[in-house]
Structure 1
Amino acid sequence: MAAGSGSGSGFGSASGEWARYWQYAELPDLDLLRARYVHHTFPRHSHEGYVFGTITRGVEDVGLPGGTVHAGPGVVVMINPEVPHTARAGVPEGWVYATLYPSAQVINDIAADTTRLRGTVGFAETSVVDPESARLIGEVHRAAEEGNALAADSVLRIMVARLLSSHGSVLPTRSPRSAGARDAARARAVLESRMAEPPTLEVLAVELGTSPFALLRAFKKQFGMPPHTWLTDARVRRARRLLDAGVAPSAAAAEVGFTDQPHLNRHFTRIVGVPPGAYQRERARTYKTGRDLSP
């Protein structure tokens, strides 16, 4: 779920798509996205933090491990950290939405302050009909766009506390007990450490003392996607951190293992929702616009 405006989005006006993905300097542990997508589809990916999204027009189909959520106006989609998901238009005219991406630390701090939940908290439901929480998500965006840090921070906390009180739970810890789960965790560590030059599935399996198909099955069961899909997602995550640090997109592409900048552009745009150049420009600026970015 992502957002941006006009010329910075990288989407053509012919499709009617626009997006703005940014970060408000006063709330560094929160990313914001507003967008309209028609033809764009998000491949399977996950986030290190939480996702709270609401649709203002149209329908978004969100593919989650438990099935597809058809999200329309008044629905709030809640996705816990590291949960793989996809997204695409649920109707021909696409969807317009506002999304918040708070860090895990933000959500757990709010839970500790307002609930009896302890440990890593999450949400039992992936979508709820809650027009008031949907309105509050829009209010966070509006306050951030107007440079009102007090309002943005306050409304974010009110919204999260509201959802936690109704739908919050403690996430189970996933310790790799089976041999397959341990192999999957070891494989992930290898891919993280050798991201620029990853081994083939066969070589990786030999290194871990298992077979390619056994590793493929175990990895998908543990992380919700096969190793090559996970690696692309991980490369984009690392590229985002490099872009945040001011690294040029071409250098970021080489460092994370993409063959060239167009290769990074293609995967980054599909997963994040905006091209890397637009992403970097938006996050390097401080906004106080006070205007509605939607067309």
Structure 2
Amino acid sequence: MGSNPGGDRADEWARHWQYPGVPGLDLLRARYIRHAFSRHSHEGYVLGAVRRGVEDVVLPDGTIQARPGTVVMINPEVPHSAHAGVPEGWSYATLYPSSRLVAGIAEEETTLRGTVAFTETIVEDESTARLVRAVHRAAEEGNALAADTVLRVAVARLLRRHGRSAPPRAPLVAGARAAATAREVLLDRMAAPPSLEELARELDTSPFALLRAFKAAYGMPPHTWLTNARVRAARRLLEDGTAPAAAAAAVGFSDQPHLNRHFTRIVGVPPGAYQRERARTYKTGRQGPP
């Protein structure tokens, strides 16, 4: 069985892992009932297929209900949260392909160039949902040829049907420049960040003006964005073998339980389980209920 993100929640399980046969891909397969994902974003793409139940995904423009037969597509850096849409929760398979992996597939199999984005967040597409789940099965069985092939077929199909080339980035206006500078300050001083008032003073603006500009630019207030950034940094440290307690201190969480709470609400599994999966090989076979 996969790791249990809730400790005593025996009816919930999750496995978040990487398969060496397909570089640039993370996988999550889980059943959640009470677990809820806090607002966060990803550096790469999210492709999810619910097998049973309903997942409510909260996005900047509203909430979508992911049911069996649908495919959820979330572009990089789009803030979102999620929770069960029905009392029995949901079980699903999710793929997290890197931006580089998706760009390579787009260049080889579509006419899209540059940065690509999905135009739809959710589509009814049972056949592609089956492909998402098939990538998981192949990876769990150690079948690199099948996992890589099916992943590429699924991503290429979704890009051809629902993809577009993202428009060039517009020059930053004053508020957006302040938000971008604030972001860099928070990254540089992640372990000991300034208050909103101190940050605004450094950038020669007001706290509420900075708050509005930051939310407009990144879809989250600075403190929520910083928690997400800390979890991303902790993931990299855990992948390098840093102990969870040391990773917590390095990125600015007050202690390991503080890291555990936020990490689990963003990644879907606790830091220890995440790190153990990174240390395993694909030869371990299937994990968690089918």
Instruction: Tell me the TM-score normalized by structure 2.
Output: 0.97
Q: Does 1:64 align with 2:59?
A: yes
CA distance in 2, matches of 1:10, 1:66: 28
Q: Offset at 1:28?
A: 2.6
CA distance in 2, matches of 1:14, 1:86: 20
CA-atom RMSD in angstroms? 1.3
Q: Which residue of 1 aligns with 2:269?
A: 274
Q: Which residue of 2 aligns with 1:139?
A: 134
Question: What is the aligned counterpart of 1:99 among 90, 94, 100?
Answer: 94
Q: Offset at 1:15?
A: 5.1
Q: Which residue of 1 aligns with 2:26?
A: 31
Is the CA contact 1:144–1:288 (under 8 Å) kept in the aligned structure 2?
A: no
Question: What is the aligned counterpart of 1:259 among 254, 260, 272?
Answer: 254
Q: Does 1:51 align with 2:76?
A: no
Q: Offset at 1:293?
A: 2.6
Q: Does 1:192 align with 2:187?
A: yes
CA distance in 1, matches of 2:127, 2:60: 27
Please show how residues 116-195 of structure 1 align to structure 2 within 5 Å.
116-195=111-190
Read off the aligned partner of 1:215 and give its amino acid letter. Answer: L
CA distance in 2, matches of 1:261, 1:111: 40
Is the CA contact 1:36–1:94 (under 8 Å) kept in the aligned structure 2?
A: yes
CA distance in 1, matches of 2:75, 2:180: 19
Q: Does 1:42 align with 2:6?
A: no
Which has the higher mean CA deviation after the structures are superposed, 8-17 or 39-48?
8-17
Read off the aligned partner of 1:29 and give its amino acid letter. Answer: G
Instruction: Give the SS at the match of 1:288.
Output: helix
CA distance in 2, matches of 1:75, 1:147: 26
C-alpha spacing 1:134/1:222, structure 2 compared with 1 (3 Å) = same
Count of matched residue pairs: 290
Is the CA contact 1:54–1:134 (under 8 Å) kept in the aligned structure 2?
A: yes
Is the CA contact 1:15–1:38 (under 8 Å) kept in the aligned structure 2?
A: no
C-alpha spacing 1:134/1:196, structure 2 compared with 1 (3 Å) = same
Any stretches of 5+ residues in structure 1 without a counterpart?
none
Which has the higher mean CA deviation after the structures are superposed, 8-17 or 42-51?
8-17
Q: Offset at 1:25?
A: 1.5
CA distance in 2, matches of 1:12, 1:130: 34
Q: Which residue of 1 aligns with 2:199?
A: 204
Question: What is the aligned counterpart of 2:239 among 236, 244, 260?
Answer: 244
Read off the aligned partner of 1:76 and give its amino acid letter. Answer: V
C-alpha spacing 1:60/1:193, structure 2 compared with 1 (3 Å) = same
Cα deviation per residue 1:185-224 (whole Å; 9 max; x = unaligned)? 0000000000001000001000001000000000001000
Is the CA contact 1:43–1:86 (under 8 Å) kept in the aligned structure 2?
A: yes
CA distance in 1, matches of 2:130, 2:5: 28
Cα deviation per residue 1:144-178 (whole Å; 9 max; x = unaligned)? 00000011000000000110110010123444521
Read off the aligned partner of 1:81 and give its amino acid letter. Answer: P
Q: Which residue of 1 aligns with 2:13?
A: 18
Instruction: Give the SS at the match of 1:262.
Output: helix
Q: Which residue of 2 aligns with 1:109?
A: 104
Is the CA contact 2:4–2:10 (under 8 Å) kept in the aligned structure 1?
A: no
Question: What is the aligned counterpart of 2:211 among 199, 208, 216?
Answer: 216
Read off the aligned partner of 1:283 and give its amino acid letter. Answer: R
Is the CA contact 2:190–2:251 (under 8 Å) kept in the aligned structure 1?
A: yes
Read off the aligned partner of 2:89 and give its amino acid letter. Answer: G
Percent identity for Structure 1 against Structure 2: 70
Is the CA contact 2:6–2:35 (under 8 Å) kept in the aligned structure 1?
A: no
CA distance in 1, matches of 2:133, 2:284: 15
Q: Offset at 1:83?
A: 0.2
Q: Which residue of 1 aligns with 2:83?
A: 88
Q: Offset at 1:13?
A: 5.9
